Amino acid sequence: MELLHKDATDTISPKRIVREVEKRLWKQIEPHTHSDFYYSVITYSDWLQDFNNPRWDFYNLTSVRKTHRMLRRMLKEAFKVDYIYMFPERHSPDEEHYYEALSLPAKKGCINPEFQIGNIKGKGRFHTNIIMSSIKDERITNPNSKCRKLFKMFDNNLIPINQKKYNSIDNLRFDLINACCKQPDWVNERQLNAVKTQVLERPSDVRRVLHYCMKECYNNGTDFTEVVDFDNSDFNKLDK
């Protein structure tokens, strides 16, 4: 099925096509938003873990998608997440305050102002936005072997997770999601805020984040197949 039917004499604007794509993606996500969603942003390190060798493959979309495949598998194995949606995004040439683009207020259930501030060093470098469905409490309180391994990793303040005292299972869940996303070589475990995760409590928050993830299509005319990683997401593919 085509996204939009077009007669020979019709001209369809690129933004109209993007709006239709976004509408169809949301139609697939919306039925699952009856419980909390999570939004993670992953910044890839300029250097390998040993800090001796710079790396440049985070500029290559094919390489980014290979890391997406690994991330998706790790999240599914550790938390049994039902739905994961991956969106590679190129950095802008100038630092950008992402919460302003999202227009989300800084209060409970919304994106915090400090959540996504671009760490931008060169045009064309990728980072990854991940939207995922709820993770059951029992996956945290009664972890499987893949999840137990994450307790030995560090939180974003470089404190071992298994040495912290948590008064909220949600805070522990955030740290474990972040730790899981730091496992690929591209992400430096000891880099502060390499991964940031936020809860999305309302469907409207999920929809705003989805809209934000499509911004390259709206602003730069990028093809939606480069912005949505269908191969590593739980979307049904859309015909172009």
Span 39-51, average pLDDT: 72
The total number of structural domains that make up the chain: 1
Give a yes or no: residue 101 inside a domain.
yes
Please check whether residue 42 is in contact with residue 195, taking contact to mean a CB–CB distance below 8 angstroms.
yes
Lowest average pLDDT, out of 9-18, 113-122, 181-190, goes to 113-122
Give a yes or no: residue 11 inside a domain.
no
Give a yes or no: residue 236 inside a domain.
no
Return d(Cα 79, Cα 77) in angstroms, integer.
6
Please check whether residue 88 is in contact with residue 229, taking contact to mean a CB–CB distance below 8 angstroms.
yes
Phi, psi of 196 (to 5 degrees): -125, 135
Q: Could you report how far apart the first and last alpha carbons of the chain are, in Å?
A: 8
Give a yes or no: residue 19 inside a domain.
no
Residue 14, C-beta contacts closer than 8 angstroms, at least 6 positions apart? 217, 221
Give a yes or no: residue 153 inside a domain.
yes
Please check whether residue 74 is in contact with residue 180, taking contact to mean a CB–CB distance below 8 angstroms.
yes
Return d(Cα 196, Cα 194) in angstroms, integer.
7
Give a yes or no: residue 17 inside a domain.
no
Give a yes or no: residue 168 inside a domain.
yes
- For residue range 200-236, list pLDDT tens digits in order: 999 999 999 999 999 999 998 999 999 999 999 999 8
Residues, the chain: 240
Burial of 213 (0-12, 13-18, 19+ CB in 10 A): buried
Range of the domain at 57: 32-229
Return d(Cα 13, Cα 192) in angstroms, integer.
41
Burial of 107 (0-12, 13-18, 19+ CB in 10 A): exposed
- For residue range 79-132, list pLDDT tens digits in order: 999 999 999 998 665 444 444 444 444 444 444 444 444 443 444 578 899 999
Assign 37 to helix, strand or coil.
strand
Give a yes or no: residue 206 inside a domain.
yes
